[in-house]
Amino acid sequence: MNPKKDLEPTLKHVALENGTEAPFSGKYFKETARGTYNCAVCANPLFASDTKFETKIPGLMGWPSFDDAISGSIELRPDDSDGMQRTEVVCKNCKAHLGHVFDDKSETKTGKHYCINSVCLNLEKDNA
């Protein structure tokens, strides 16, 4: 069975074709519930909710922001598409495209700002 075959169209476009969901369109950019954000393709745990924050940087608003990833969960790749030099974030397990990471010393403790597409994430909420 190939789990990548039956992805819904937006996820397929973003995760497999390095697309970007429209800002403010995703389900998690305002999410504040506690839990773990898993890869929407393979369920690999990627980000913890306590690393999530709401950015005030124009251009990065409208997508979920994190200042750290779960250790060993992601891979970084240089990306010079769209006339920009960026660093792509992919799931280490299934290589799905997740978003990009930027240097950000103004908003994050880590200096890293992960700008991730909601559609690539599944929030597994902690039990209250």
Shortest CB 50 distance to Zn ion, Å: 21
Candidate residues 16, 42, 48, 61; the one interacting with Zn ion per rule CB under 5 A: 42
Gap between the Cα atoms of 7 and 15, Å rounded: 9
Q: Name the residue type at position 14.
A: V
Phi, psi of 112 (to 5 degrees): -115, 140
- Determine, following the binding rule CB under 5 A, whether residue 39 of this chain makes contact with Zn ion: yes
Go through 112-121 and write b for each residue having 16 or more CB atoms within 10 A of its CB, e for each that does not: bbbbbbbbbb
- Determine, following the binding rule CB under 5 A, whether residue 48 of this chain makes contact with Zn ion: no
Phi, psi of 84 (to 5 degrees): -125, 155
The site map against Zn ion for 69-108 (x = CB under 5 A) is: ----------------------x-xx-x------------
**Which of the following is catalytic: 39, 42, 91, 115?**
115
- Determine, following the binding rule CB under 5 A, whether residue 123 of this chain makes contact with Zn ion: no
Residue 42 among the catalytic residues: no
Candidate residues 10, 18, 44, 87; the one interacting with Zn ion per rule CB under 5 A: 44
Say if residues 89 and 101 touch (Cβ distance below 8 Å).
yes
